[in-house]
């Protein structure tokens, strides 16, 4: 301990009272951090109508066994608010929690959410206002050892609790342990390890894209602590701030468009308004990041914050099988999986119909076109995917694509994603060419032994969105035509998230799809998806030595995605050899870039 025992009695005077010069400087830092953590309380929103004399609320179900939405947790949320306005009631509520010690069946609530809130309540109340016995009882709940080894954002949360505990109970070793845990996670992780990736995507729960769930919490928590600690001896070094800047600018911000976070970036959190909430959370992270940056970087970030909808360009995330493109008229994203890259998850009864969410899932145009996704939309016909139309369960499968692989490349105004789906009962080559004109989809070697039909969904969207985003779909002669179906759909959010209240959702939905029949053997497709009114540049589909080699002349480049070795015939009649992967050539046939297939 860095405070003498006798100082515990006068901690209300400030940490630096009566200490040596060295310890006094350290204590001043701790005082500063605590004051920053208290912050300015928000307006009181807690209703006291149901507050009982024993410190509980009559409208809270303390016995609930829910794992995702745990009602008992709202007790501490209310107590934290009360701590800034009604100390007596807050102490009653805090004492009641300690007496009851409610437990959730989900370890995360017990080991992370509850300790974080308890620490924040003590910080806001100030320790000198909390009876010693209650201080002691609360501390026994601050560190609940989980059954699982902490890593990624979970470790960051637990480390933050340690810092707060060290500040509250005057133990420097806890502060340093917490700082080590937090700063240790703010680094580029090796391939296959959870955390921040080299391409500035974020993985958690295995090799799985988690931009909008754990990755967003990671950014918020790291930026928060960087602000809390700046100007103290615990301040983040410049290289850590540099990583935070690049994670935000080269990662998170690319997932935003039209007031929402891209559906494929939200992870399993796709409840009503989640994409809008995550959009605002990313914007708020950007604002909190500003004070940490150099003037030059602060200016660049502020320009984007002032007009995030004006972002133009393309970003490929090869470690996550993810590609995002933004133009002034529309955005596009595609999410893929592989043998080693997990596509989706469903935990705590969330995301229950997500089996196909990363099978080359595409979102094109504007977020409004997909309002109500995923509760309203046909989960067997997610835009961009090729699937068997059977009645299998739609719960996520970590080994969805055991023989699959992918490649992504971005060189705005062109970008390419190539994806091999091979689940055992279905196989398909899938390519997405993205240019300033729109999206071109190309498929080959579609095979299935199932007794159910196979369908490629070109798009699925709300019918009322066509007024603002009219879509054109075309297929060349010799390729299967796109069929259109419009139907009134009725869904319920409870079917997607079991613990959610029953919330019906309905609307007219349009499906654009290409049927391949039952047990196709080597089927193919080719289509162009455009927004009506957007000028189109000339694009030419080039001849290749194999149907499994896809090539398009566009944006002054030859874009190829090859699933077999062979050649491409260039516009001047010459041929160019290509190998499996994405190859980008200039118009004369000189190789500009090669991106090999990968499994993660």
Q: Which residues contact 160 (CB under 8 A, 6 or more apart)?
A: 116, 178, 182, 221, 225
Written as six digits, the tokens of 508 are 């007219």
Nearest-CA neighbor of 570 among 542, 528, 547, 596?
A: 542
Q: What is the pLDDT of residue 523?
A: 98
Q: What is the pLDDT of residue 22?
A: 56
Radius of gyration of the chain, Cα coordinates, nearest whole angstrom: 27
User: Is residue 332 within 8 Å of 434, Cβ to Cβ?
Assistant: yes
Q: Is the pLDDT of residue 11 over 50?
A: no
Q: What is the pLDDT of residue 177?
A: 93
Residue with tokens 């994806």: 419
Q: What are phi and psi of 117, to 5 degrees?
A: -70, -40
Over residues 256-261, mean pLDDT: 96
Strand partners, 454: 388, 517
Nearest-CA neighbor of 537 among 410, 395, 426, 440?
A: 440
- pLDDT tens digit sequence for 425-463: 999 999 999 999 999 999 999 999 999 999 999 999 999
Over residues 130-150, mean pLDDT: 88
3-state secondary structure of 182: helix
Sheet with 331-335, strands from edge to edge, namely 313-317, 322-326, 331-335, 361-365
User: In what helix (H) or strand (E) does residue 172 lie, and over which residues does it extend?
Assistant: helix 172-185
Written as six digits, the tokens of 298 are 């602060």
Q: At the top level of CATH, which class does the domain 185-311 belong to?
A: mainly alpha
- Going from N- to C-terminal start, the domains of the chain cover 185-311, 313-535
Pairing state between β 471-474 and 426-435: unpaired
* Whole-number Å distance between alpha carbons of 472 and 463: 14
Say what the alpha-carbon torsion angle 301, 306, 311, 317 is, to the nearest 10 degrees: 40
Q: What is the pLDDT of residue 40?
A: 85
Q: What are phi and psi of 79, to 5 degrees?
A: -60, -40
* Whole-number Å distance between alpha carbons of 286 and 253: 9
Over residues 269-290, mean pLDDT: 97
Q: What is the pLDDT of residue 143?
A: 82
Cis amide prior to 221 (ω within 30 degrees):
no
Say what the alpha-carbon torsion angle 184, 188, 193, 196 is, to the nearest 10 degrees: 90
Q: What is the pLDDT of residue 7?
A: 31
What size, in residues, is the chain?
Answer: 600
Q: What is the pLDDT of residue 147?
A: 67
Nearest-CA neighbor of 234 among 37, 41, 80?
A: 37
- Mean pLDDT of the chain, nearest integer: 93
Q: What are the CA-CA distances from residue 490 to residues 136, 141, 203, 253, 506 (Å)?
A: 53, 45, 34, 33, 4
- pLDDT tens digit sequence for 374-415: 999 999 999 999 999 999 989 999 899 999 999 999 999 999
- pLDDT tens digit sequence for 91-118: 999 999 999 999 999 999 999 999 999 9
At the second CATH level, the architecture of 313-535 is Distorted Sandwich (2.70)
Nearest-CA neighbor of 341 among 6, 600, 18?
A: 600
Sign of torsion, CA 572 575 577 583? positive
User: Is residue 549 within 8 Å of 531, Cβ to Cβ?
Assistant: no
User: Is residue 331 within 8 Å of 325, Cβ to Cβ?
Assistant: yes
Q: What is the pLDDT of residue 16?
A: 45
Q: What proportion of the chain, given as a percentage, has pLDDT over 70?
A: 96
Q: What proportion of the chain, given as a percentage, has pLDDT over 90?
A: 90
Q: What is the pLDDT of residue 150?
A: 86
**Mean pLDDT lowest for which of 14-23, 89-98, 124-133, 184-193?**
14-23
């Amino acid at each position: 301990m860095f405070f003498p025992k006798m100082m515990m009695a006068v901690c209300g005077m400030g940490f630096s009272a009566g200490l040596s010069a060295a310890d006094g400087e350290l204590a001043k830092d701790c005082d500063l951090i605590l004051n920053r953590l208290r912050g300015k309380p928000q307006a009181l929103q807690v209703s006291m109508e149901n507050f009982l004399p024993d410190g509980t609320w009559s409208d809270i179900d303390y016995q609930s066994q829910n794992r995702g939405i745990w009602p008992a947790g709202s007790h501490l949320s209310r107590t934290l608010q009360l701590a800034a306005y009604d100390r007596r009631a807050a102490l009653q509520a805090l004492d009641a929690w300690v007496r009851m010690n409610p437990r959730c069946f989900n370890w995360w609530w017990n080991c992370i959410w509850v300790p974080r809130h308890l620490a924040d309540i003590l910080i806001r109340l100030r320790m000198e206002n909390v009876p010693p016995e209650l201080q002691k009882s609360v501390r026994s709940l601050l560190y609940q050892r989980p059954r699982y080894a902490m890593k990624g954002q979970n470790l960051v949360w637990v480390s933050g609790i340690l810092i707060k505990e060290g500040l509250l109970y005057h133990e420097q070793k806890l502060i340093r342990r917490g700082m080590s845990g937090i700063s240790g996670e703010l680094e580029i992780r090796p391939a296959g390890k959870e955390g921040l990736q080299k391409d500035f995507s974020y993985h958690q729960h295995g090799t799985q894209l988690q931009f909008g769930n754990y990755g967003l919490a990671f950014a918020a928590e790291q930026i928060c602590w960087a602000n809390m600690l700046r100007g103290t001896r615990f301040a983040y070094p410049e290289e850590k701030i540099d990583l935070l800047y690049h994670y935000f600018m080269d990662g998170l911000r690319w997932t935003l468009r039209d007031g929402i976070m891209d559906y494929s970036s939200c992870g399993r959190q796709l409840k009503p308004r989640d994409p809008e909430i995550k959009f605002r959370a990313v914007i708020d992270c950007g604002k909190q990041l500003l004070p940490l940056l150099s003037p030059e970087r602060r200016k660049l970030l502020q320009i984007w914050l002032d007009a995030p909808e004006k972002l133009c360009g393309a970003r490929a995330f090869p470690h996550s099988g993810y590609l995002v493109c933004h133009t002034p008229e529309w955005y596009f994203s595609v999410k893929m999986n592989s043998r080693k890259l997990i596509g989706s998850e469903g935990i705590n009864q969330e995301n229950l119909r997500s089996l196909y969410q990363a099978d080359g899932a595409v979102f094109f145009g504007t977020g409004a076109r997909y309002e109500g996704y995923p509760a309203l939309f046909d989960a067997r016909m997610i835009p961009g995917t090729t699937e068997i139309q059977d009645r299998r369960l739609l719960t996520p499968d970590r080994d969805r694509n055991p023989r699959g692989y992918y490649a992504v490349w971005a060189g705005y105004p062109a970008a390419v994603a190539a994806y091999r789906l091979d689940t055992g009962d279905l196989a398909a080559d899938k390519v997405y060419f993205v240019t300033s004109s729109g999206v071109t989809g190309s498929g080959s070697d579609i095979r299935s032994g199932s007794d159910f039909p196979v369908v490629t969904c070109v798009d699925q969207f709300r019918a009322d969105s066509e007024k603002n985003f009219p879509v054109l779909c075309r297929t060349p002669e010799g390729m299967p035509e796109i069929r259109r179906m419009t139907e009134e759909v009725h869904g319920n959010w409870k079917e997607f998230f079991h613990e959610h209240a029953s919330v019906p959702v309905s609307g007219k939905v349009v499906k654009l799809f290409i049927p391949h029949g039952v047990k196709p053997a080597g089927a193919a497709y080719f289509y162009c998806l455009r927004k009506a009114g957007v000028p189109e540049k000339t694009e030419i589909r080039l001849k290749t030595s194999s149907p499994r080699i896809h090539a398009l002349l566009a944006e002054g480049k030859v874009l190829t995605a090859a699933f077999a070795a062979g050649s491409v015939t260039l516009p001047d009649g010459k041929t160019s050899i290509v190998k499996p992967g994405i190859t980008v050539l200039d118009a004369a046939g000189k190789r500009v870039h090669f991106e090999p297939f990968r499994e993660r």
